[in-house]
Amino acid sequence: MTLPDPRIFEELAHRPWPMPASPWVMTQTWHDLLFAHWPVDVATLAPHVPTALTLDTFDGRAWVGVVPFRMTNVTPRGMPALPWLSAFPELNVRTYVRMGDKPGVYFFSLDATNPIAVRAARRFFHLPYYVASMSLEDRDGAIHYRSRRTSGPPAELVASYRPIAPPAAPRPGSLEHFLTERYCLYTLDGRGRPARCEIQHPPWPLQPAEAEFAVNTMAAASNLRLADGRPLLHFSRRQDVVVWPLTTVGAP
């Protein structure tokens, strides 16, 4: 049986609201993450977000993130991790929303190599997952990442990235904190109603990063245009997570 890192339940002061009282249902460990963020005009981005959700902004600007990483320990509670099922690369395109007093993440797309995980996430979490051919290699002090979608709208990422400073928890009130310290995701359920999935993890250990993008059509595949210029970049080596079930939170 896969047990979560006990620090997940010991470090709680950073959470913006209490953990759910119901049992969590899944563990995940995220490795070698790049947070690449671009500012986006609110009026341009808002039509791409469900009307039941409020686009979240920082100093009047919305943000779109492209986040490549790999996962291990993707395992239902009480089940052992299986190498052929519980570990695979993932890549998401996201923005930031809120419903009531709970800020969260809204995903435009999520790509993964594991078709079983893709089908399960679509069925149980109603998330826009796609199957992709992906590779991740830690070489010469950098993560070399390649992804090409094999289902759904064509999308590709070819990038390399590395941290350039020591890790630190993001300061509350900072842009880095706004972009990363989020403890739920939002989507629409099978009946078009807004739904929330809560998570818990320790504070993010973030490092400033540098990256090179040879190909990046991930946002364009969702009809999103990223701003010209270099994105805001952060790296995180590891994050341990537990996940609660998706729950409906209101009617559209």
Give 23-38 pLDDT, tens digit per residue: 999 999 999 999 999 9
87 in a structural domain: yes
pLDDT averaged over every residue in the chain: 94
Nearest to 108 by CA among 123, 132, 129, 122: 129
Instruction: Flag whether pLDDT at 227 surpasses 90.
Output: no
- Do residues 37 and 230 lie in contact, with contact meaning Cβ atoms separated by under 8 Å? no
- Over residues 31-51, mean pLDDT: 97
pLDDT of residue 1: 53
Exposed / middle / buried, residue 165 (Cβ in 10 Å: 0-12, 13-18, 19+): exposed
Q: Rounded CA gap, 131 and 129, in Å?
A: 7
Q: Rounded CA gap, 116 and 125, in Å?
A: 13
pLDDT of residue 122: 94
5 in a structural domain: no
Q: What is the CA radius of gyration of the chain?
A: 17
Instruction: Flag whether pLDDT at 233 surpasses 90.
Output: yes
219 in a structural domain: yes
Phi-psi region of 32 (alpha: psi -120 to 50; beta: other; left: phi over 0): left
Instruction: Flag whether pLDDT at 210 surpasses 80.
Output: yes
- DSSP of 92-120: EEEEEEEETTEEEEEEEEEEES-HHHHHH
Whichever domain contains 99, its CATH number is 2.40.400.10
16 in a structural domain: no
Nearest to 179 by CA among 38, 82, 41, 75: 38
- Do residues 132 and 150 lie in contact, with contact meaning Cβ atoms separated by under 8 Å? yes
| DSSP secondary structure code for residue 173 in this structure | T
For 113-119, which contacts have Cβ atoms below 8 Å and span 24 or more sequence positions?
A: 113/88, 113/89, 114/85, 114/88, 116/85, 117/74, 117/85, 117/88, 118/151
- Greater confidence (249 vs 1) lies with 249
Which pLDDT tens digit goes with each residue over 148-201?
999 999 999 999 999 999 999 999 999 999 999 999 999 999 899 999 999 999
72 in a structural domain: yes
Instruction: Flag whether pLDDT at 207 surpasses 60.
Output: yes
Q: Rounded CA gap, 89 and 23, in Å?
A: 27
pLDDT of residue 217: 98
Exposed / middle / buried, residue 228 (Cβ in 10 Å: 0-12, 13-18, 19+): exposed
7 in a structural domain: no
- Over residues 51-60, mean pLDDT: 96
Beta strands in the chain, from DSSP E residues, in sequence order: 26-40, 54-55, 62-76, 88-99, 102-112, 129-139, 142-149, 156-163, 184-188, 194-200, 207-216, 232-248
27 in a structural domain: no
pLDDT of residue 252: 40
13 in a structural domain: no
Structural domain containing residue 142: 33-248
Tokens of 200: 């818990």
**Structurally, how many domains does the chain consist of?**
1
Report the first-to-last Cα separation within the chain, whole angstroms.
39
- Do residues 8 and 217 lie in contact, with contact meaning Cβ atoms separated by under 8 Å? no
> Other CB atoms closer than 10 Å to residue 123's CB: what's the count?
11
